[in-house]
Structure 1
Amino acid sequence: MENIALAEPGAHLSIWALFMQASWVVKLVMIGLLFASIWTWAIIVDKLVTYARMRLALNRFEQVFWSGQSLEELYRTLADRKTTGMGAIFVAAMREWKKSFEKGAKSPLGLQTRIDKAMDLALTREMERLEGRLGFLATTGSAAPFIGLFGTVIGIMTSFQAIAASKNTSLAVVAPGIAEALLATAIGLLAAIPAVIAYNKLSSDANKIAVRMEGFSDEFSAILSRQIDEKVAQKA
């Protein structure tokens, strides 16, 4: 382990100086935590933008869907587009509806079951896309403080070894090692705190969006169920 030199007041206690004086293990810990913090903020910004766009898309779709426009016309408008949210659920249901009637579906119950499964699959894909990378935030929030603590322990061990080697227990000898050790903990908290807060908020936002899409799926399933009953009654 490398010895720790006497610290000049203010000269060797800057963040950069503490990083450069740290052992290679502590440096790796700090670098890893910094990358985790950067990636955490990238995910946070991306999710905030994605969720805002998704809420806007849901509002627009609901406005069009309940405007009285025919389902066939709306399906033709959306079928060839890349749809998300309620639009993706609607297209999946209508596609199954049209395929089944084109093939002469005879079982209303079977048709309803297939439509519900198609909407469930579309909803699952949308939620997987919305919740993607949130697991990294949860992992960072729970693991980063302990990783920083690991760096702190290594830094303190290095300080004690320097004290033993120099046989000097003055604050000038101890301060740099303790400071660099605590810097690892600080960086760990810097990565963990935003990750925990963002994970809780983004998870709540994703759940709210999921509830809206599930509600639409149930309403649309009921609409199609009534239309299936009407078609069966007409054939009878």
Structure 2
Amino acid sequence: MKRGSSDLPTSVRPPAKRVGGARASSPPTKSSATAGRDAPSTRAAKAAERRAAIVDAALDEFTARGFAATRIDDVAKRAGVAKGTIYLHFTDKEAMFQELVRTALVPTMQRLTSQPAPGVSARQMLETFAETFLRDVAQTRRGDILRLVMAEGTRFPSLAEFHYRNVVEPGVAGIRRILELGVARGEIHAASLAQFPQLAVAPVVLSVIWQGLFGRFAPLDVQAMLRAHLDLIFGERTAP
């Protein structure tokens, strides 16, 4: 049996003081007094680390095997935890996917759709949106989540719906606001464009598909394509 602090041999314990003939215990030390407060925060931090490791391992497995073929055992092995530990955090693979979306994509989308600074043109807003998405999502491991949805969404519509509700829908709404502002300011002459905000960021979506399928054979200059696309919407920029 393991020995805790209360199981220490008597010979190594500090002698207790006597007060009025009775034995009195020593006053609690600072470490023992704060242990109760520190322990929960330490446990919470370790639990958060394990949860993050599980989610990270799940993305690796989903990317390598596909959602359908990935087993909970595979995720546990890659994360370095017991299978039972997985179920302390997630009920199933879909719950892990949802956590991936919530932690890896939702914060980025919230940042992209936040209120722009005053005086920024609609073109600048779209450029910032697209370039940030490319840099922080499409060209990182977060892009694997998008490719996973594209590959598995028809077989697992609940994955596609969760991704749509939490990432695509707010993103499209943010782009629509930019386009409506551009139309109101006279920066965009095709007012109907605001009805189809997907067109404004079509190069971003295309780049995710193209680079995943054909990038090894025919790399795409996404930035140049984006500039050409924005020129079609706003007109070519003139040199100062």
Do they superpose with TM above 0.5? Answer: no
What is the TM-score when the length of structure 1 is the normalising length? 0.28
Greater Rg, structure 1 or structure 2?
A: 1
**Greater share of helix:** 1
Q: TM-score scaled by structure 2?
A: 0.27
